[in-house]
């Protein structure tokens, strides 16, 4: 899974002629996905759900180069379920992360702040009847990291496409959330990101 962050992962039958009892409707389950939704569902089931991807240790800077972080994780995609016109799944991330203030020479000030932990995000997608396109949301279900609570925020997912076997979408945080700043403080911020799922030599990337 490749991630590009500006600041800071997917998916009715028409009844005619005869009446259908409510009991039969309950047994019917999801209607067959068509078009874009079908492509996304098939790709997810075949290559993503039940798989784990690893982010190797990565170093980055934040807050106008006043902070430096080290990050690595393992992310698992599971609990896939379809609805009448969409689908959802969970993203479980187990991460190790340290963030350090930097002094005037750009050197780390120990001991750093530990933001390691486990987070669970729920992604939910629906197919719009007007366009047959997918839109979605992502929200935190549980979190053991030391980041501030994400209550009251939700990520919007748009631009879902499957091109040349690659699944992509964009994510935007409307409003704002809390982001880490130097000296143990936080500041308001937002983000835009693009996610791309592909397989290389049979492995999810």
pTM over 0.85: no
Cα 115 to chain centroid distance, Å, stands at 19
Cα 192 to chain centroid distance, Å, stands at 12
Q: What is the pLDDT of residue 196?
A: 96
pLDDT tens series, the chain, 205 aa: 544 433 333 332 332 333 333 333 344 444 444 589 999 999 999 999 999 999 999 999 999 999 999 999 999 999 999 999 999 999 999 999 999 999 999 999 999 999 999 999 999 999 999 999 999 999 999 999 999 999 999 999 999 999 999 999 999 999 999 999 999 999 999 999 999 999 999 899 9
Cα 73 to chain centroid distance, Å, stands at 14
Cα 150 to chain centroid distance, Å, stands at 14
């Amino acid at each position: 899974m490749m991630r590009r962050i500006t600041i800071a992962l997917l998916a009715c039958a028409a009844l005619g002629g005869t009446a259908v009892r409510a009991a039969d409707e309950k047994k019917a389950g999801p209607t067959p996905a068509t078009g874009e939704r079908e492509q996304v569902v098939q790709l997810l089931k075949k290559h993503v759900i039940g798989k784990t991807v690893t982010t190797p240790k990565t170093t980055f800077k934040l807050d106008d180069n006043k902070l430096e972080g080290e990050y690595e994780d393992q992310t698992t995609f599971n609990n896939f379920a379809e609805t009448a016109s969409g689908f959802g799944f969970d993203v479980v991330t187990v991460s190790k992360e340290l963030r350090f203030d930097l002094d005037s020479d750009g050197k780390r000030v120990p001991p750093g702040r530990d933001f390691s932990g486990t987070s669970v995000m729920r992604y939910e997608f629906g197919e719009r009847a007007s366009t047959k396109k997918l839109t979605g949301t992502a929200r935190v279900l549980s979190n053991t990291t030391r980041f501030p609570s994400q209550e009251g925020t939700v990520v919007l997912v748009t631009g879902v496409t499957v091109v040349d076997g690659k699944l992509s979408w964009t994510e935007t945080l409307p409003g704002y959330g809390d982001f880490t700043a130097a000296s143990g403080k936080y500041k308001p911020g937002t983000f835009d990101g693009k996610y791309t799922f592909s397989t290389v030599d049979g492995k999810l990337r």
